[in-house]
């Protein structure tokens, strides 16, 4: 299997299977001085939390590195493809040599592999994951469906995660730092206007609101700014509210009780794909 064929199948596709011939395993696995390895410029992960990293440091001191780092040759040394947390933790632990697997991949293959491997390991915060999906779509011209197959996640999950990038920088930072959850972030997306979103964030952080409380506050903020409903909308207010909860966007019902139409708002092709996916289910 070539490196290109292995892309989209995760890290395991580039690591020898258990039961592979002993000579092949010995040839693939080698030890390397830790100072010879450099981080990858394609690493999608920007945040390395101190506490989990320290736990890995303690584990390496006690048991060593159980899984080799994946690298490619670069100049006189090596460049990481996967395993930056292990590499950082090994440095802290005072380890001088680490096990490596050397693979021959191009820049584009390395970028794709780094993104997919990090997503599959769930090492990224939601904003890093959203940026990784977007980068896969833009740089490799992949559809959301193709990205979902490569990373092994539902297409709706991919679409909803990418939507997080529409949030103001302050909210994205809070989400990346774990101050708010994905549930909170989805509530922000249903609120029009940056000023209202910032007001909601201030109330959320000061009051320690749960996701349900945040959703209730969003409803109140949307109601204040909404024009008086037309007669048909008033008659179907319960249905409208239920549909908006399910579809995560604005809904209008126009017409009379026996005949009319439902209008569904969307703001981008990705948004439309997400709504269609929800309706299909």
Instruction: Collect contacts of 244-247 with beta carbons under 8 A, ≥24 apart.
Output: 244/190, 246/278, 247/275, 247/278, 247/279
The per-residue pLDDT for range 75-129, each reduced to its tens digit, is 889 998 888 888 888 999 999 999 999 988 887 777 777 777 777 665 678 898 8
Structure tokens at 155: 């297409």
State the Cα–Cα distance between residues 23 and 270, nearest whole angstrom: 49
Give CA 192 to chain center in angstroms: 23
More confident residue, 147 or 7: 147
Q: Hey, how many other C-beta atoms are within 10 angstroms of the C-beta on 41?
A: 10
Give CA 33 to chain center in angstroms: 32
pLDDT at 27 over 50: no
pLDDT band, very low/low/confident/very high, at 44 (cuts 50, 70, 90): low
State the Cα–Cα distance between residues 82 and 123, nearest whole angstrom: 12
Cite the active site residues. 84
Go through the domains of the chain in sequence order and give each one's CATH number.
3-17+24-106 (3.90.1530.30), 227-281 (no CATH)
Q: Is the pTM of this model over 0.85?
A: no
Q: Where are the beta strands (DSSP E) in the chain?
A: 29-33, 37-38, 69-74, 77-82, 97-102, 251-255, 260-264
Q: Hey, how many other C-beta atoms are within 10 angstroms of the C-beta on 256?
A: 10
More confident residue, 98 or 27: 98
The per-residue pLDDT for range 196-230, each reduced to its tens digit, is 888 888 888 888 888 888 888 888 777 665 554 45
């Amino acid at each position: 299997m070539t490196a290109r064929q292995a892309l989209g199948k995760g890290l395991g596709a580039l690591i020898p299977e258990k039961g592979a011939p002993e000579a092949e395993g010995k040839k693939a696995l080698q030890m390397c001085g830790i100072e010879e390895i450099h981080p990858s410029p394609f690493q999608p992960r920007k945040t390395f939390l101190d506490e989990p990293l320290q736990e890995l440091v303690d584990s390496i001191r006690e048991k060593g590195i159980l899984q080799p780092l994946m690298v490619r040759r670069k100049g006189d040394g090596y460049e990481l493809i996967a395993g930056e947390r292990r590499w950082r933790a090994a440095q802290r632990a005072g380890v001088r040599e680490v096990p490596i697997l050397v693979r021959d991949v191009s820049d584009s293959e390395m970028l794709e592999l780094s993104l997919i491997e990090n997503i599959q390991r769930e090492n990224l915060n939601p904003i890093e994951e959203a940026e990784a999906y977007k980068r896969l779509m833009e740089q490799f011209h992949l559809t959301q469906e193709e990205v979902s197959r490569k990373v092994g996640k539902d297409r709706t999950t991919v679409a909803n995660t990418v939507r997080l990038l529409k949030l103001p920088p302050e909210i994205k930072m809070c989400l990346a730092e774990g101050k708010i959850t994905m549930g909170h972030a989805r509530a922000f997306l249903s609120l029009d206007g940056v000023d209202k979103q910032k007001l909601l964030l201030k109330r959320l952080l000061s009051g320690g609101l749960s996701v349900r409380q945040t959703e209730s506050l969003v409803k109140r903020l949307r109601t204040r700014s909404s024009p008086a409903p037309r007669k048909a909308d008033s008659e179907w207010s319960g249905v409208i509210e239920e549909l908006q909860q399910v579809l995560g966007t604005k809904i209008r019902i126009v017409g009379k009780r026996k005949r009319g139409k439902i209008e569904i708002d969307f703001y981008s092709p990705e948004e439309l794909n997400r709504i269609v996916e929800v309706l299909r289910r």
